[in-house]
Structure 1
């Protein structure tokens, strides 16, 4: 299998994001990026909280 044929990893996009050169971005573009990333952080935190609560509920169910 060629490296180009390998399935991409889920975090490839995150790896690209954190390595992206921010120098060419304007203040407005940086502010927009911050807004979008803060929204994504909030979404991930909600999903994480749901997953933790769901896991706790399942654990409690099987302990009974």
Structure 2
């Protein structure tokens, strides 16, 4: 089990909610701000993936001795 699997997660997927949201009410500036926020979240997710992969590789190397 991955460490984060023990944490309770909501059944509602926030990303899916964003994908369904009507963009018509937003101004161009608001849409640019939304894109910047989403790009920052992508960077944060990629950093978590990299950290998890590196952690796993380190643990595998340690226990395969």
Same fold (TM over 0.5): yes
4+ residue segments displaced more than 6 Å:
none
The answer as to 2:39 corresponding to 1:42 is no
CA RMSD of aligned residues (A): 1.5
Aligned positions of 1:1-64 closer than 5 A: 8-9=10-11, 12-64=13-65
Matches of 2:42 and 2:18 in 1, distance apart? 14
TM-score (norm 1): 0.78
- What TM-score does the superposition give when structure 2 sets the normalisation length? 0.77
1:8-62 deviation line (CA, Å, top 9, x unaligned): 32x5212101111112211000000011111111111111100000011111111
* Unaligned residue ranges in structure 1 (runs of 5+): 1-6
CA distance in 2 between counterparts of 1:40 and 1:8 reads 18
Which consecutive residues of structure 2, in runs of 5 or more, have no partner in the other structure? 1-8
